[in-house]
Structure 1
Amino acid sequence: MTDTPRYTSIAIILHWIIAALLIGMVFFGWYMEDLSHGWREGLVSGEQVQQAYNWHKTIGLLILLLSLARLAWRLTHKTPGMPDGMKPWEKMAAHAVHWAFYVIMIGMPIMGWISASAWELPSFLFNNPDVPMPRLPVPQSEGLHDVSGSIHGAGGWPILILWVLHAGAALKHQFLDKDGLLGRMIPLPFLKG
C-alpha cells in the first residue's frame, strides 16, 4: 500500500454522520409508508404516523444542514488527490458519484421541505408543538405537495444505488488495488495507506 493523504477530521466526521443518517432515512421513509398504510387500515393511530413524519422531517433538516456544511468544507479545503494508479474513467466516475451524492443530499431534504411546506398540516421539530418546522415560502397546494413529495420519495433508490457504487469502489480500491484509498476516509489505523 502507498501512503495516501487523508481527508480532514471534519470531513471524515461529516461523511460518516451524513452517510448513517441518509441510509437510515431511506429505510425510515419506507417504514413511514407502512405506517401510513397501517393508519388507513386502522392498525395505527394518526398520532403515531404524525410523530414518525415529524422525526423524519427533523432528521431531514439536520441532513440538509450537515450536507451544506460538508459542501462548504469541501469547497474551502483541498481534498487528497486520487492514487496515481487510478484509471481516468475511475477518477471521472468517482467525481460523478461524489457530486451526485451532494445533489441528492441537498436536493432530497429540500424537496421534502417543499412538500411539507405546501401541505396545510403543521409539522413540529422533535415532535415538540412548541417548535414548529419553518415553512418555505411556497403556496399551500395539494398538487405541489404531491409532486415534490413524489420526487422526494423516489430518491430512496438512487441513494442506495449511489451508496453501493461508492462503497463497492472503495472496497475494490482497498482490497484488490491495495492503494489505500479507503484509509483516507476511515479512522481505523490498519486501513490507513
Structure 2
Amino acid sequence: MLLNGHETFGWGTIILHWMIALLILGLIVLGFIMVRPDIDPELQFSLYQWHKSFGMTVLALSVIRVIWWLTNRHPASVKGLSPLEARSASAVHLLLLAMTIAVPLAGWAVASTSTLGIPTLVFNRVLVPHLPLRPSAEAEAFWTTTHALLAYGMGGLVVLHMVAAFHHEFIRRDGVLSRMIRGSLGKR
C-alpha cells in the first residue's frame, strides 16, 4: 500500500524516510571527511561538490516529504504511549522534518555567500542558482556556523529518534520500528 493506513505507514512514507535517512548519514560522514586539514585539495573540492549535490537531493526529497506529510493520513500512535510520550514523539518528528529542510538551506546559503563564487552543479549536471544573498566573508562565516550547528542539532535528534525506535522495538516490543520497515504494525 502506497498511502499510510490508520495504524501503518505506507510505502511512500517508508521509502522517503529511509532515502532521506541514508542520505543524511552519508552527508554527515562526508562532512567530517571533507573538512580534514590533511586532505588533498583536489579531492576536497570534489567532496564538497558531492556534499552539495547530496544536500540538494535531501532538500528536494524533504520538500516532497513535507507535502506527503501534509496530504497523507498519520497513523495512530502505538498503544501504550503516555500523552507526554506521544507529544514528545510528534515534536521530535516535526523537528526532524524541519531540520531536513533547514540544514540544506543553510548549506545552500554557505555556497551562495561564498566570495569564491563557485557554482553548485548537482551531480555535475544541474546548475542550482545561488540564493539572493550578498557574498561576503562575514556572511559565509555566519552561514557556515549556522549550517554546522543545525547539522549537529539534527544529528542529536537522529540519535534520540534511533534510541527511541530501538527502545520501542526491542524493550517495549510494540512494533514501532517494524512499521517503518515493513509497513505493518508488527506486534510480537
Task: Tell me if the contact between 2:106 and 2:147 (Cα under 8 Å) persists in the aligned partners.
Answer: yes
- TM-score, normalised with respect to structure 2: 0.88
User: Of 143, 161, 165, which aligns to 1:148?
Assistant: 143
User: What does the per-residue CA deviation read over 1:90-119, in whole Å, with 9 as the maximum and x for residues that have no partner?
Assistant: 111101110110121100000010110111
Unaligned runs of 5+ in 2: 1-5
Task: Tell me if the contact between 1:55 and 1:125 (Cα under 8 Å) persists in the aligned partners.
Answer: no
2: CA distance between counterparts of 1:50 and 1:132?
17
Whether 1:110 aligns to 2:105 is yes
Aligned counterparts, 1:113-124, within 5 A? 113-120=108-115, 121-124=117-120
Whether 1:26 aligns to 2:28 is yes
Task: Tell me if the contact between 1:51 and 1:127 (Cα under 8 Å) persists in the aligned partners.
Answer: no
1: CA distance between counterparts of 2:137 and 2:127?
20
Residue in 2 that maps onto 1:17: 19
- TM-score, normalised with respect to structure 1: 0.86
User: What does the per-residue CA deviation read over 1:70-104, in whole Å, with 9 as the maximum and x for residues that have no partner?
Assistant: 11100100111002211111111101110110121
Amino acid paired to 1:8: G
2: CA distance between counterparts of 1:22 and 1:29?
10
Amino acid paired to 2:162: A
1:144 positional shift: 1.0
Aligned counterparts, 1:99-178, within 5 A? 99-120=94-115, 121-126=117-122, 128=124, 131-178=126-173
2: CA distance between counterparts of 1:175 and 1:152?
34
Greater CA deviation, 130-139 or 7-16?
A: 130-139
- Among the aligned pairs, what percent are the same residue? 34
Q: Secondary structure in 1 aligned to 2:181?
A: coil
Change in 2 beyond 3 A, CA 1:25/1:90: same
User: What does the per-residue CA deviation read over 1:136-161, in whole Å, with 9 as the maximum and x for residues that have no partner?
Assistant: 11111211111011110223322221
1:126 positional shift: 4.4
For CA contacts below 8 A with separation 6 or more, give which structure has more relative contact order.
1
Provide the aligned length of Structure 1 versus Structure 2.
Answer: 181
2: CA distance between counterparts of 1:131 and 1:179?
44
Change in 2 beyond 3 A, CA 1:11/1:162: same
Q: Secondary structure in 1 aligned to 2:128?
A: coil
Task: Tell me if the contact between 1:54 and 1:124 (Cα under 8 Å) persists in the aligned partners.
Answer: yes
1:127 positional shift: 5.6
Residue in 2 that maps onto 1:68: 63
Q: Secondary structure in 2 aligned to 1:140?
A: coil
Change in 2 beyond 3 A, CA 1:127/1:82: closer
Residue in 1 that maps onto 2:3: none
1:51 positional shift: 1.1
1:175 positional shift: 2.1
Aligned Cα root-mean-square deviation (Å): 1.9
1: CA distance between counterparts of 2:17 and 2:126?
28
Amino acid paired to 1:33: V
